[in-house]
Structure 1
């Protein structure tokens, strides 16, 4: 630590008191400006601190003792950052920045707030000067987090209370900028808010300059009336207005007489001249049934059925004819393995059956159970089982589907393949979707119980048509190396499968096969 030095003159005579020049005692521990500059501070920064120290240590003419303000490391770093090259603003000179820096530090020092200021985030003096100049030019003013405003050169002081009359005269000038926006164009109020309307009436500017077309679109989008209030909700059960969905369109009575019409997804409310009434749709259904039996062109038939279903939907036709159309389309989709279209028909049929419309509810309930077994959706299966009544469970078709579900859940492959051979109606088309998966599951179980099995045993247990079909299946899954062909004592050729050696293969294939299937019937 360096102390100020002084020249002391001593007298030659030892009897006299030594003569010396008195100097002021040092009241702070700060380094002089020369020492500060030597430890890395810029020359300008050292001059600033030196001038501040001199102002604090110089004796005051008043009888009061001068105050000392020690400089913390945060203050020193703040002063250093003010003179760094990357923070220099060309339009602000070093003299202006030095004066502002001295004003900032002195303000907090006189109030004993040097330690409470967050100096790392405090605005630099050149930034304060820049904001003050911008405020004078009419730009928006910003307040710093340390209490002083950028629109003034001085730091904040206690505001004096103004008379009531002066407040009323300056009410318009004190309105913040965000209050001057057109609130009526952005905010809507519910009935019973008259006080809020009166309060904001004084703050409103002249009418908005927005395009009337845009305002009209906004009213339609938010269901507003001409006064900006919400329109009453439509009565329960009225048709919904939604042009983006085929299922939620306004009621439309068709006038089109064409039997054939291609399917197009609706992007706007349907027009009567493009929609066919029910008596025309009945003729269309007869024509499609005949063409399917004669031509078997599924692409054409599916497109025409989707168009027919769309015309039924937009006219809100839900009767026995609607059930018949959906059931026929669902059966054709099952026959061609189009589970996506089948699932759409199945979903609508469930809603129609709940309205007690005549149809084959038991048949399609059985299909629904088999479909959920295929998709491995346990949540949907629980819902279906909870909806079944005691009478439904004893119905033959539904009982068969429930037995299939039980055999799959228990891993009883012997019972499952016996049920597969005796599936009623078109349920076999659905079981065909997951029969290979169940065969892999059966092979994984058989490999844990048998070292080898005869090919004929697998053919019977897994419900193959013949031994060749069973060998072809084993080859398709990469198990051809497990086939062992030998000639027995009678001279007949016997083929056995080394199931124990293929246990790892069968188990891996089983895990891959049992994956959840999405709602469209796709893995």
Structure 2
């Protein structure tokens, strides 16, 4: 194992491989003993550099090869005073790296460039890399002596091409990368700005390496029928068709397939007419989704947009499509907050009823906190608040009266959770009315339209065997009774199942 350099030896306090002297400031006088004269023409004897310091018994002794000593002597033969500090730093780094790479004895120090030569090349390279690419390309054929490799020890970024040197390419590349990195970090001529420019130049050099292949690639021509809009300008459609099927977008929209605003207004009138005449929900829903998509891709937000979403939401409520309704409701809340006018109070009431269906107490508290005193005077909102109070108090009698008297389209929303509330009401009735009760009472109390509908509801929930018909004195059927005492367990379990999971498809 090769010992480390003397200045890195633990506990070593010996002399360095050369003697530092002050520069001559006058023409006269003698050269200090042990120094090197500026007009010296022949290298000093091999014994001029100091040998490794004496070490304690048993410790490894650091020695230097004679070519290295001569290399150090040549370094200080013609060094300028202002460059002395930089040359010393560069020399120490070269010798340290040679020791670390274990090539100090195998390296041809006679052919090794001097530190000042290496520094001059680095400064020239930095200037070259800071020039424009056109100017830098004129110096690409530089073949200076510092670009050579010496065994396993290299100080250049250029790749070696000889077969002999390829055997040591791995270690040389590793050493070269570390060499250049340390040089950039330690060089007093580098700065944060220069390093930033240097890394940018490295990127450009890498791009030029693949320049021949990239120049042959030309950008594809843009189809005039595809989307061709400025990023700062909204898309304007050119399609004149009133009806268009809905397709989920998987790429940029094509203006030729998007209808402009004046065509969309005619489309809405056509859809309203077809809904009144045909009642084909699948077709109407598809057309409304296509209409909404065209509004969205063109960034159209106005009162017409509010009208489209309101009509689609009402149709979805009528057909019990809560998922589609909630998508419309979410967009309406955003449009109302941006100042566009519509039936805001009506849809606030629907929002409260929808949250009762989903049992979303957190959002319910938020909606209630945003209601103004004026909002609470609106008929639909006042009705929705009363429904909420009835459910919170467990007052099923008031709840079903409100269900039958729901304004606007609130009854369609209440249809989504009225069956669940009937389960809870029946569980309560079966505990309070024993041993049986008249079916007519249940019909009126639970908001059924007829006794037949009430009986069907009981049968659907597994209580068919608990319905019996009672006759009078002469055998004439007098009433239909429901055995509440035996039905307690059935409706307690049905209530638990009904409140266990709520369908919240499309909920915000």
TM-score if structure 1 supplies the norm length?
Answer: 0.56
Q: CA deviation at 1:518?
A: 4.9
Match among 295, 316, 319 for residue 333 of structure 1? 316
Q: CA deviation at 1:164?
A: 2.6
Number of matched residues?
A: 327
1:471 alignment partner in structure 2 = 455
Change (3 A) 1:388 1:516: farther
Match among 396, 400, 412 for residue 417 of structure 1? 400
- Cα distance in structure 2, aligned partners of 1:333 and 1:253: 29
| Deviations 1:86-124 (CA, angstroms, capped at 9, x unpaired) | xxxxxxxxxxxxxxxxxxxxxxxxxxxxxxxxxxxxxxx
2:93 alignment partner in structure 1 = 164
2:236 alignment partner in structure 1 = 253
- Contact 2:155-2:176 within 8 A present in 1 as well: no
Q: CA deviation at 1:195?
A: 6.0
Long gaps (5+) in structure 2: 1-59, 65-90, 98-114, 116-152, 157-170, 182-190, 220-228
Q: CA deviation at 1:463?
A: 0.9
- Cα distance in structure 1, aligned partners of 2:305 and 2:175: 61
2:446 alignment partner in structure 1 = 462
Q: CA deviation at 1:263?
A: 1.0
- Cα distance in structure 2, aligned partners of 1:395 and 1:342: 22
1:194 alignment partner in structure 2 = 193
Equivalences for residues 50-89 of structure 1 within 5 A: none
- Contact 1:375-1:521 within 8 A present in 2 as well: no
Q: Note if 1:394 corresponds to 2:377.
A: yes
- Contact 1:376-1:516 within 8 A present in 2 as well: no
- Cα distance in structure 2, aligned partners of 1:471 and 1:202: 86
Superposition RMSD in Å: 3.5
TM-score if structure 2 supplies the norm length?
Answer: 0.58
Q: CA deviation at 1:193?
A: 6.0
Change (3 A) 1:428 1:177: farther
- Cα distance in structure 1, aligned partners of 2:154 and 2:61: 19
- Cα distance in structure 2, aligned partners of 1:158 and 1:479: 103
Long gaps (5+) in structure 1: 1-156, 184-191, 218-238, 242-248
- Cα distance in structure 2, aligned partners of 1:159 and 1:505: 96
Q: Note if 1:279 corresponds to 2:225.
A: no
Q: CA deviation at 1:171?
A: 6.1
2:159 alignment partner in structure 1 = none
1:379 alignment partner in structure 2 = 362
| Deviations 1:476-520 (CA, angstroms, capped at 9, x unpaired) | 111012113221347442222121211111111111111443542
- Cα distance in structure 1, aligned partners of 2:63 and 2:430: 94
| Deviations 1:231-271 (CA, angstroms, capped at 9, x unpaired) | xxxxxxxx997xxxxxxx97201121111111111122222
1:439 alignment partner in structure 2 = 422
| Deviations 1:34-91 (CA, angstroms, capped at 9, x unpaired) | xxxxxxxxxxxxxxxxxxxxxxxxxxxxxxxxxxxxxxxxxxxxxxxxxxxxxxxxxx
- Cα distance in structure 2, aligned partners of 1:492 and 1:179: 105
SS class of match (1:370): helix
2:472 alignment partner in structure 1 = 488
- Cα distance in structure 2, aligned partners of 1:416 and 1:425: 17
Q: CA deviation at 1:315?
A: 1.2
- Cα distance in structure 1, aligned partners of 2:368 and 2:415: 23
- Cα distance in structure 2, aligned partners of 1:159 and 1:284: 93
- Contact 1:484-1:495 within 8 A present in 2 as well: yes
Change (3 A) 1:501 1:280: same
1:360 alignment partner in structure 2 = 343
Match among 470, 473, 489 for residue 504 of structure 1? 489
Which structure dedicates a bigger proportion of its chain to helix? Answer: 2
SS class of match (1:207): helix
1:96 alignment partner in structure 2 = none
Q: CA deviation at 1:165?
A: 3.1
Q: CA deviation at 1:375?
A: 1.2
Q: CA deviation at 1:472?
A: 0.8
